[in-house]
Amino acid sequence: MPALTSSFENALDILACPLCGNRFEFTGNTLVCTSGHSFDISRKRFVTMLTGGGTRMRSDTPEMLSARSRVLASPFFFPALATVADMIAQLPLVGERLAVADIGAGTGQYLAAVIRRLASDRPTSDVRGVGLDLSKHAARMIASMDAAVSAIVADAWARLPLADSSVEVVLSVFAPRNVKEFRRVITEDGHIVMVTPTPRHLQEITTPMGMLSVDDGKAERLAAVMSEDFTPASEELVEYHRTLGVSEIEDLVAMGPSAFHLSPDQIAARAAELGHTNVTLSLVVSVFSPRPRVAADLGGDQRDERA
């Protein structure tokens, strides 16, 4: 089996065709489902599984992903990654073959941190990761993060290319939440882990940098969206302050949706005017457990509004 297919070979029990839901087999470097739908694995070790139905989302650009990669590797954000990995490592995960699916994985850094922590804590377990993102540029980065990770270009609002009851952890970090699909793919004893900003997140630079703000009702909407299919299990606030320089502030703006509305020159000028600034990081890591499944839950492609 060619090396570029190795992560997918180890994830065949997790994956399913996004068009029909059937399982895959390999034909050379191509995933072929039992209905004949086929998806080629690229030389960069990712596979595109977009179904052509259109999407409500806009994919990240290479520049946005580069900025995000720098931010997530920086002292400002690294403690948040560590907290997510710690919380998942402490979950009562069952079985020697574990699967973590990061929906809207971006650069893949959160997923890689989780996979490595689980592999370290469970040396006898087979820990696999699947990272999904709408951006092919993101998929390339995800594929390069860890040999145990399968990278897929997919739409979070469509049927996910994952089998029913196939993953122990679904991770969603600042990403779309297709709750019905989360319920379809999670195991009965699995967990949904969501990372969301509070209204205090980056509050010192939001207005002067022209960034999108977090409204006060976000937490309540998330709870309402999740309540039909999941129950809250635990929650942890991650909040601290750091003094950031101009280039770090530029990256915080350039890595997110505000970059679609501001030019690099505008971002640089506003950051220079701010100068060194004490900035708040404020996130909530929420863990949810699935409610008992009913037959109707397995229909797939049922969309919930983004909380």
Residues that constitute the known binding site for S-adenosyl-L-methionine: 77, 107-108, 201
What the block records as the tokens of 209 is 């940098």
What the block records as the tokens of 99 is 């699967």
The burial class, CB within 10 Å (0-12 / 13-18 / 19+), for 61 is: middle
Q: Say whether 220 sits in a helix, a strand or coil.
A: helix
Q: Say whether 98 sits in a helix, a strand or coil.
A: strand
10-45 burial, b for 16+ CB within 10 Å, e for fewer? bbeebbbbbbebeebeeeeeebbbeeebebebbeeb
| Binding-site residue ranges for Zn(2+) | 17, 20, 33, 37
* CB-CB neighbours of 120 under 10 Å: 11
What the block records as the tokens of 43 is 């030389």
| Binding-site residue ranges | 17, 20, 33, 37, 77, 107-108, 201
